[in-house]
Amino acid sequence: MITCRKTYHDVPFGHRQPFHDGHCSFIHGHNWSITVTFACTERDVNGFVVDYGKLGFLKDWINDNLDHACVFHKDDPLLDQLVNAAPEAWKVYVVDDCSNEGLAIHVYEVFNALVREHTGGRVWVAQVEIEEDSKNAATYAPPAKQ
């Protein structure tokens, strides 16, 4: 297996931790970075794992779903109230868990499916790292198949 990485820097979006007992329970924003590690067993004709210039579909997904969005936990008890109060004020994206760790898992699942689709299964995502304001990061890699 050989790997390579690409990072999407400074993706601005907000979130809130609805079950946190401190200031993280308030809606707040960060500049996030998403680092994707791609893997394959056989490189393409150019010797690449992936052609970075052909990953626009990942950037498009980020722009469509996360850029300037507010990411909500699916079980946020205030989700409907907040969004319905002024639906025109929100670009809403709902996930199972909007923590840094939960976002790493979610983005891994989405990106792995997209990468496999766009490469005919030759390439997969080995891991995703989500960095919050260049201070905190979480990484997800699926468990090794046994």
Is pTM, for the whole model, over 0.85?
Answer: yes
- 146 has a pLDDT exceeding 50: no
Pick the more confident residue, 117 or 144. 117
Summarised one tens digit per residue, pLDDT across range 11-37 is 999 999 999 999 999 999 999 999 999
Residue 144 is predicted with a pLDDT of 76
Residue 145 is predicted with a pLDDT of 65
- Ranges assigned E (strand) in the chain: 2-15, 28-40, 70-73, 92-95, 123-132, 136-140
Pick the more confident residue, 134 or 25. 25
Q: Delimit the domains of the chain by residue range.
A: 2-140
CA-to-CA distance for 105 and 138, rounded, in angstroms? 9
Topology classification of domain 2-140: Tetrahydropterin Synthase; Chain A (3.30.479)
Query: What are the DSSP calls for 13-33, one per residue?
Result: EEE--TT-SSGGGS-EEEEEE
Summarised one tens digit per residue, pLDDT across range 98-107 is 999 999 999 9
